[in-house]
Amino acid sequence: MVINVGKDTTLKARIGWQGLTTAEYKDIGDYLLVTGTDFKDGFVDWDSCHFVDKIRYDQDRNIQLKNCDIVITKDGTIGKVGYIENLKLPTTLNSGVFVIRPKKGKHIDTKYLYYIFTSKIFEEFLSRLTAGSTINHLYQKDFVNFEFEIPDEEDKQKAIAKALSDTDELIDSLQNLIEKKENIKTSTMQQLLTGEKRLDGFIGKWQEKTLSDISNISRGASPRPIEDPKWFNRNSDIGWVRISDISKVKKYLFETVQKLSEEGVSQSRFVKSDNLIMSICATIGKPIITKKDVCIHDGFVVFNSLKIEQDFLYYFLIFIEDNWSQSGQTGSQMNLNTELINSTTIKLPKTKEEQKAIATILSDMDNEIENLKSKLKKTKAIKETMMDELLTGNTRLI
């Protein structure tokens, strides 16, 4: 069997690219090399590993990997940890990675040991080791001095590792479910926002308009020079919207870091609460609905006097957000001009009832995804607490 794979030696490119299985490539005699760039979420990303020949693989038997090994980076970004399972092919390490194995007869559970190396205990050890220095290498002479507590009985170690592993499985399932829901939402937006799929009870052709047909679009303005403190007042009720404010939120803007004085408001663009704005500079094309009175600078536009459902326009702007970067003007920062925004076309139902029904479906999907993300965040926090308690002996399972 002769296969032309060109210069790409990654597992992802070579296994499956020609329809081959991992086992078939193993028969050919390839070997994998794990480097510090191949770590992902506590494991090794086999798809990113590169191949080496048998001579390289045989150089050091001590670093030929086995399932249940623990690998830790010692160069570059030091202290990244990976647990070895589901080995695809015979695999070795480059010089920037340690492999950790319990000594024979020590009765140490490797999964427990893995969680030790992913805990704050190990993070604090690395912080002390690198304090006040620019060290970018973890030396074995320092690494072997890492001390930690461990239950004498291996069954206690396994119980702790099992509790943490179960929590990891829940985290993984939530992450997978969120990804699935987000993919479904993307597909639903494609169908509903283009008229490709109609909701039950609605008929009639859709119409095509420009954004200027359905709204008066105005660009923001900035007081000059912006550094002058007279434009700002922390006790003001009028927020001053910056890109950093909208980067932290999803759909609604409830608060801003800075507030404008009356004089500052007079030199900017006032936007009343419950209006739709969009960033047009740096982070371009992100729509946000204001939930407080604000002012916007010239890195934003506001959509006034809307003739369609606001939420429908919001989701349309989300739908085309990635497209703006192809049309924006480049300079020191990417930006959009109001002429381009005004001329952008939108396809929409004639009735606000259908617009609202579509927006409601997408909003419900958003809420479901946000609830799952909140649950994921809480589960991760619970795991951190568990690690703090279980790996230090503060709380015991058995």
DSSP string, 94-163: -TTEEEE-PPTTS---HHHHHHHHTSHHHHHHHHHHHTTS---B--HHHHTT------SSHHHHHHHHHH
CATH number at residue 113: 3.90.220.20
Residue 76 has a CB neighbour count (10 Å cut-off) of 12
Domain extent, residue 392, equals 150-183+353-398
Using one digit for the tens of pLDDT, what is the confidence trace for 122-162?
999 998 888 767 767 888 888 888 888 889 899 999 999 99
| Strand stretches in 206-304, DSSP E | 207-210, 216-219, 239-241, 252-253, 258-259, 269-271, 276-279, 287-290, 294-296, 300-304
Question: Residues 143, 15: one domain?
Answer: yes
Supply the DSSP symbol for 7: T
Domain assignment present for 2:
no
Question: Residues 20, 47: one domain?
Answer: yes
Q: Return contacts of 133-142, CB within 8 angstroms, 24+ apart.
A: 135/78, 136/75, 136/76, 136/78, 137/74, 137/75, 137/78, 138/72, 138/73, 138/74, 138/75, 138/78, 138/79, 138/98, 139/74, 140/74, 140/98
What is the pLDDT, as a whole number, of residue 144? 86
Domain assignment present for 364:
yes
Question: Residues 259, 129: one domain?
Answer: no
Question: Residues 90, 41: one domain?
Answer: yes
What is the pLDDT, as a whole number, of residue 328? 53
What is the pLDDT, as a whole number, of residue 27? 41
**Which residues in the chain come in under a pLDDT of 50?**
1-29, 331-332
Question: Residues 252, 335: one domain?
Answer: yes
Give yes or no for a cis peptide into 225 (omega within 30° of 0).
Answer: yes
How many domains are contained in the chain?
Answer: 3
CB 359 within 8 A of CB 309: yes
What is the pLDDT, as a whole number, of residue 335? 72
What is the pLDDT, as a whole number, of residue 107? 85
Q: Are strands 345-348 and 39-40 parallel, antiparallel or unpaired?
A: unpaired
